[in-house]
Amino acid sequence: MSNPSRRGVLRLSAGTALLGTLALAGCGRGDTATATAKATAESVDDKPATGTVNVWAAQGDADVLAKVIKPFKAANPDVTVKFTLIPNSEYYTKLQAAIAAGKGPDVAQFFPESQAQFLDPSILRPVPDGLVDSGVFFKSLWDAGLVKDVAYTVPWYAYTYALVYRADLARKAGVKPPTTWAQMVPFFKALEGAGAVRGLGADNGWDIFNGQDVAMYAWQAGGSLLSTDGSWTLDTPAVVDALKYNASFFTSGSADTATPTFLDAQPYFVSGRTATMITGPWVLGQLDTAAKETGWTAAHVATAPLPAGASGSVSFSAGGTWGVLADSGNTDASWKFVRYVSKPSTQVAQYSAYGSLPAVISAWDDPAVKKQPLLDAFLTQLKNTKAFPQVGSWQQVATRLGKEVETVAKGTQTAEKAAASIQAYAKSLGTGAE
């Protein structure tokens, strides 16, 4: 029964045992809020970086980083950048444990959709004044790193969801992509009529990603996840509508609750077992491989912005960001690394190497990105995005929401009850700011 994560839990418990015992003495949460050091900004010069920079990132977009930053290493011969890539699902758990144990890296990657819990001067250093120009990034990505006007992260890549569908089947069925919620299931049915087994290949982890989907639908329905005074509003009619809308894909038979699994998603799409995906832009770069045919994607696939609900076609902003840890022993080189990866040319190189879409808006004008017509829908969508709630408990709430989504999709609970349940859970959790 050996399991690395559980071993981690034990080590963490051991490491904090004494502190935990002391905690029982009754210090209150409010005490340390005032005790945390006030964020102070530093400045970073243009001299070559030196020393070692330890970088932690999640597997995926960062797989190609060592290649992408070769010019940085050439220009800074005295710097060593060491990458540690961690599986996505374990990333935050391991990072959180490492930070708690004081064994974190110099630079860590974060996800703007779920990074709020790390935006604290005891964990991350404020972004130095003048390191980057905040105005060059998609606004919601930059804003995701702000707490009380202090920026803690720098955007790296951006993504959002759009419709990726089989253009050949749509042509055969004589249908255009749906622009409203009401057109969604009929569109799926038309594609099924043109030969697809299922109109939609749903992503069924029943996890945080499903929670995020429903949050996005709630925005489209005109809802918001937090009230203006910062408390959770998840049992609203908009959230109920969002849950019902998502469930309609399954109850109509256009999506299967059982398949495809994550690894099957692209082969299923290529073979026509599914005909639409609500997904990110990285998929486009992988379909030729799944089809084992260069040019397959260009000939068979089209993209479209997400269909609009009562309040329009809103999606979420997501991607990757970088932060320098408060405990870093080499902040100067760390910030120089972050500055380099946020340059438009580096972001274009990253796009060419992995398909990560630039977080810097001007990089989208580079021919490498611009000549890709399938990305147009994503750019349109990125201009109409919202950031998930920037509160510490959003990740937990979204994960729980993903589980509630399963119950509604499978018909074991009504959307109203699921919304009440997620609201009760979120309320008991608070926003993490208390």
Partner 1 sequence: MTTTLVPAARRRARNSRRTAVAWLFLAPFAVVFLLYTAIPTVAALGFSLTDLRGSDLRHPLAVDFTGLDNYLRLFQDPTFLRDILNTAVFVAVGVPLTMAIGFGLALALNSGIRRLRGVFRTVFFAPVVTNVVAVALIWQYAFNAGGTVNKALAAVGLAGPNWLDDPQLAMPVVILLGVWRNFGTAMVLFLAGLQAVPEDVYEAAALDGAGRWRQLRHITLPLLLPTTLMVSVLLTVFYLQVFDEPYLLTDGGPLGSTESVSLYTYHQFGSGQLGMSSAASFVMLLLVLLVSAVQFRLLRPRT
Question: What's at 217, amino acid-wise?
Answer: Y
- C-alpha–C-alpha distance, residues 250 and 236, integer Å: 22
**Window of 7-15, 134-142, 213-221, 233-241 that interacts with partner 1 by CB under 8 A:** 7-15
Interaction between residue 362 and partner 1 (CB under 8 A)? no
Q: Does 21 bind partner 1 (CB under 8 A)?
A: yes
Structure-block tokens of residue 428: 């008991």
Of 48 and 411, nearer to partner 1 (C-beta) is 411
The verdict on 103 binding partner 1 (CB under 8 A) reads no
Residues binding partner 1: what is the number (CB under 8 A)?
Answer: 57
* Token pair recorded at residue 338: 């972050």
Pick from 65, 86, 99, 164: which binds partner 1 (CB under 8 A)?
99
End-to-end alpha carbon distance in the chain? 37
What region does 57 belong to: left with phi over 0, alpha with psi -120 to 50, or beta? beta
Which residue's CB is nearer to partner 1, number 8 or number 193?
8
Q: Which of 337, 395, 418, 419 touches partner 1 (CB under 8 A)?
A: 395
Residue number, 13 or 43, with CB nearest to partner 1: 13
- The residue type of 255 is A
Return d(Cα 344, Cα 47) in angstroms, integer: 20
Torsion sign over Cα 427, 428, 433, 434:
positive
Determine if 37 is a binding residue for partner 1 (CB under 8 A).
Answer: no
Structure tokens at 335: 């910030």
22 binds partner 1 (CB under 8 A): yes
User: In terms of CB distance, is 96 or 183 closer to partner 1?
Assistant: 96
Q: Is residue 122 close enough to count as binding partner 1 by CB under 8 A?
A: yes
Q: At 90, which helix (H) or strand (E)?
A: helix 88-100
Q: CB under 8 A: which stretch of 16-24, 58-66, 233-241, 380-388 binds partner 1?
A: 16-24
- What is the token pair recorded at 34? 């005032």
In the Cβ-directed half-sphere of 409, how many Cα atoms lie within 13 Å? 25
In angstroms, what is the minimal distance from the CB of 275 to partner 1?
A: 18
Determine, following the binding rule CB under 8 A, whether residue 261 of this chain makes contact with partner 1: yes
- Comparing CA positions, the residue from 421, 423, 426, 404 lying closest to residue 243 is 404
SS3 44: coil
Q: How far apart are CA 340 and CA 335, in angstroms?
A: 8
How many C-beta atoms surround the C-beta of residue 147 within 10 A? Answer: 16
In the complex, what is the shortest distance from the CB of residue 28 to partner 1, in angstroms, rounded to a whole number?
6
Q: Which span sits near partner 1 by CB under 8 A: 11-19, 244-252, 285-293, 380-388?
A: 11-19
Cα gap 16→123, rounded to integer Å: 17
Binding of partner 1 by 271 (CB under 8 A): no
Which residue of 324, 392, 415, 418 would you call a contact of partner 1, by CB under 8 A?
392
Residue of 338, 351, 345, 360 whose CA lies nearest to 64: 351
Residues 202-241 that bind partner 1 (CB under 8 A): 206-207
Cα 373 versus chain centre, distance: 23
Cβ contacts of residue 88 below 8 Å, gap of 6+? 58, 59, 60
Nearer to partner 1, 79 or 234 (CB): 234
Q: Does the footprint of partner 1 cover residue 1 (CB under 8 A)?
A: yes
* Residues 414-433 as x/- pattern, contact with partner 1 by CB under 8 A: --------------xx--x-
* Nearer to partner 1 among residue 93 and residue 251 (C-beta): 93
Residue at 349: amino acid letter: A
Tell me the window of 12-20, 274-282, 302-310, 364-372 that interacts with partner 1 (CB under 8 A).
Answer: 12-20
- Residues in touch with partner 1 (CB under 8 A): 1, 3, 5-6, 9-10, 12-14, 16-17, 19-24, 26-33, 35-36, 93, 96, 99-100, 117, 120, 122-123, 206-207, 256-259, 261, 264, 392-393, 395-396, 399-400, 403, 406-407, 410, 412, 428-429, 432
